[in-house]
Amino acid sequence: MIMHMDQGAAQRCIEAALRRKPERLVRLEGVTNNGVYAFSVGGEGYIFKAYRSPDWPEDGKLPFVNRVLRERRIPCAELIAFRRYDDALGCGWLIERQVPGLAADRAAMDERETVQFYGELGRLVSRVHQIELQRYGYIGSGVPSHARQVDFYADEWEDRFGVLVREGVFTQASLACLRDRFMTMLTDFADLPPVLCHGDLSLKNVIIQPNGDLALIDWDDATAFCWMADIARMTAWMRMQHDEADMQAYRRAFLAEYQTGYRREDFDRFEAAYHIYTALDNLVYFRAVGDGEGAARMKAWAAQKMV
Say what the pLDDT of residue 55 is.
86
Whether pLDDT at 70 is above 60: yes
Per residue in 72-96, pLDDT (tens digit) is: 999 999 999 999 888 777 789 999 9
pLDDT band at 5 (very low <50, low <70, confident <90, very high): low
Say what the pLDDT of residue 32 is.
67
For residues 140-169, one letter each, b for 16 or more C-beta atoms within 10 angstroms of the residue's C-beta and e for the rest, the string is bebebbbeebbebbeeebeeebeebbeeeb
**Cβ atoms of 119 and 257 closer than 8 Å:** yes
Q: Domains (ranges, CATH) in the chain? A: 7-98 (3.30.200.20), 103-304 (3.90.1200.10)
Q: Which residue has the higher pLDDT, 84 or 266?
A: 266
Average confidence score pLDDT of the chain: 94
The region of weakest confidence among 47-56, 70-79, 81-90, 267-276 is 81-90
Say what the pLDDT of residue 143 is.
94
Q: Where are the alpha helices (DSSP H) in 103-226?
A: 111-128, 149-166, 172-188
Say what the pLDDT of residue 229 is.
98
Say what the pLDDT of residue 290 is.
95
Distance of CA 27 to the CA centre of its chain: 22
Give the global pTM: 0.94
Whether pLDDT at 164 is above 80: yes
Say what the pLDDT of residue 2 is.
42
